[in-house]
Amino acid sequence: MIPVRGFVGDTVAVLGLGRSGLTAARALRAGGAEVVAWDDGAKGREAAEAEGFALRDLTRAGAFDGIACLVTSPGIPHLYPAPHPAIRAAWDAGVAVDNDIGLFFRSLGHEGEAPRVVAITGSNGKSTTAALLHHVLIRAHKRAHLAGNIGRGVLDLDPLGEADIVVLELSSYQTDLARSLTPDIGVFTNLSSDHLDRHAGHGGYFAAKRRLFAEGGPERAVIGVDEDEGRYLANQLSEATGDPRVIRVATGRIEAPGWQVTVRKGWLAETRMGRQVASVDLRDVPGLPGRHNHQNACCAWGAARALGLGPRDIEAGLRSYPGLPHRSQRIAERGGVVFVNDSKATNVDAAAQALQAFKDIRWICGGLMKEGGLDALRPHLGRVAKAYVIGREAEGFALALGPGIEAEVCTDMATAVARAAAEARPGETVLLAPAAASFDQYDSFEARGQDFAERVAALDD
């Protein structure tokens, strides 16, 4: 555990007692702080009490008397659509609000040299990029750790030294609030509309991502420039033409000069000042299927190069990468039909990338639709032989797909898998890429993907 520094003898409040909240409470106590804790749910309060933390209802009058800081969990709204009452009370009391990511960065370097930190954010692909970079580093015999929104809670890591490299996946909820953001390398994968209610629109969502670079000032930035926001960010971070501190990543040509990692027709190429210095054929890499995973590979390549790894070591890591569960995960092949679990495709842009990765698709989709509708999927529906729609709003989702695609309302996963498997022909892919949130039927996208995998496994019975 990393003890949180700067609060010896102070009382710090922790709001939200899930994984990150309880870990933050433990790390604060390890650093010498007195901790009071609160969760709106009885289960979280009971867990804190069981570890000896004092409870205090942070929504009551006077709750912040004597409090030095409020640490809140990422799932708790701190501004939009409305601040949690305890956060509003902290504002009124003049108490600083932070999260575990901010505590992590403020606590680095207090005992010996600080590790190098790579922080990865973006709309889609950040989990794969983080896991892939971590895998590449481990295979190259580096002391690497995966944490943040993936792997271990960031404060749950063992004490770190200068030989360590921490790979952090950070969501917009985490970057939006952290008071300290000082990574050595920042990575921005891409941007698409997501979490708009939490950030009051697309601009607020981008602003939350941008804080990692504007507030943190990383020594080097790896920026996906397929969207205008990425081009803007890369331009903002460049001090001169071809600034080597910015590595641009794209799934196509880049007009701006400088350090670039691009992928075209499955070939990754690294270019510096107009000269190609490395290339890799990604088309036969089993753990990275499709254009979106090729972009993830580019981002991981850029970060690994910024850390000083050579092309051969990185290529070896790419080729041995097994892939992440629920992200373009090939789980079975039966009678020439491949079954792929991409339950993490919880928004339209992620689902569109999944559809581009395969041909002749039997598509399992549906769930809680997000703002913006399904229009972005239409250019890719020609790859879909038929859609099998799940979710409580399955009929509405099927109608939103439009008349150009055959869609069957299945409602539940068992029916969808059975129908898709029965109708699929050799050479086709049964793809779960929902383009929607899972919370109408499941606790998480992981639970949804696991249900899909179990239904596919049961086809043998």
Mean pLDDT of successive 10-residue stretches along the chain, which has 461 residues: 94 95 96 97 95 96 97 93 96 97 89 86 92 97 94 90 95 93 96 78 91 91 96 94 94 91 96 94 90 94 98 97 87 94 91 91 94 87 96 94 93 97 97 95 95 94 58
- Note the pLDDT of residue 112: 59
Cα dihedral sign, 289-290-296-301: positive
* Binding site, annotated residues: 122-128
H or E segment to which residue 165 belongs: strand 164-169
Peptide bond into 81 cis (omega under 30): yes
Contact between 92 and 256 under an 8 Å Cβ cutoff? The reply is no
Residue 75 Cα distances to 78, 316, 367, angstroms: 9, 37, 20
- Note the pLDDT of residue 110: 61
Strand order of the β-sheet with 54-55 is 54-55, 34-38, 11-15, 67-72, 96-98
Pick the CATH number of 329-460 from 3.20.20.70, 3.40.640.10, 3.90.190.20, 3.40.50.10470: 3.90.190.20
Diameter over CA atoms, the chain: 68
DSSP state of 332: E
- Note the pLDDT of residue 200: 82
Q: Sketch the domain layout of the chain as residue ranges.
A: 11-98, 105-320, 329-460
* Binding site, annotated residues for ATP: 122-128
Residue 205 Cα distances to 72, 173, 208, 396, angstroms: 19, 9, 5, 27
Query: What residues have CB less than 8 Å from 450, skipping those under 6 apart?
Result: none
- The yes/no answer on whether domain 11-98 falls in CATH 1.10.10.10 is no
Q: Which of 179, 171, 169 has the alpha carbon at shortest distance from 209?
A: 171
What number of other Cβ atoms are within 10 A of residue 125's Cβ? 26
Do the strands 11-15 and 34-38 form a parallel or antiparallel pair, or are they unpaired? parallel
Strand order of the β-sheet with 407-411 is 329-334, 337-341, 429-432, 361-365, 384-390, 407-411
DSSP characters over 382-441: GGEEEEEEESTTHHHHHHHT-TTS-EEEEESHHHHHHHHHHH--TT-EEEE--SSBSTTT
- The yes/no answer on whether domain 105-320 falls in CATH 3.40.1190.10 is yes
| Amino acid present at 20 | S
Q: Which of 420, 374, 379 has the alpha carbon at shortest distance from 401?
A: 374
Q: Which of 146, 170, 132, 150 has the alpha carbon at shortest distance from 309?
A: 132
Token pair in block for residue 184? 């050595």
What number of other Cβ atoms are within 10 A of residue 460's Cβ? 7
Query: What residues have CB less than 8 Å from 291, skipping those under 6 apart?
Result: 251, 263, 353, 356, 357
3-state class (DSSP) for residue 85: helix
Token pair in block for residue 186? 């920042």
Contact between 258 and 244 under an 8 Å Cβ cutoff? The reply is yes
Contact between 184 and 116 under an 8 Å Cβ cutoff? The reply is yes
- Note the pLDDT of residue 461: 58
The residues facing 186 across adjacent strands are: 119, 221
Do the strands 329-334 and 337-341 form a parallel or antiparallel pair, or are they unpaired? antiparallel
Contact between 83 and 156 under an 8 Å Cβ cutoff? The reply is no
* Rounded Cα distance, 29 and 22, in Å: 11
Q: How far apart are the first and last CA of the chain?
A: 45
Contact between 100 and 171 under an 8 Å Cβ cutoff? The reply is no
* Rounded Cα distance, 349 and 291, in Å: 12
Q: What does the chain come to in residues?
A: 461
Token pair in block for residue 287? 């753990």
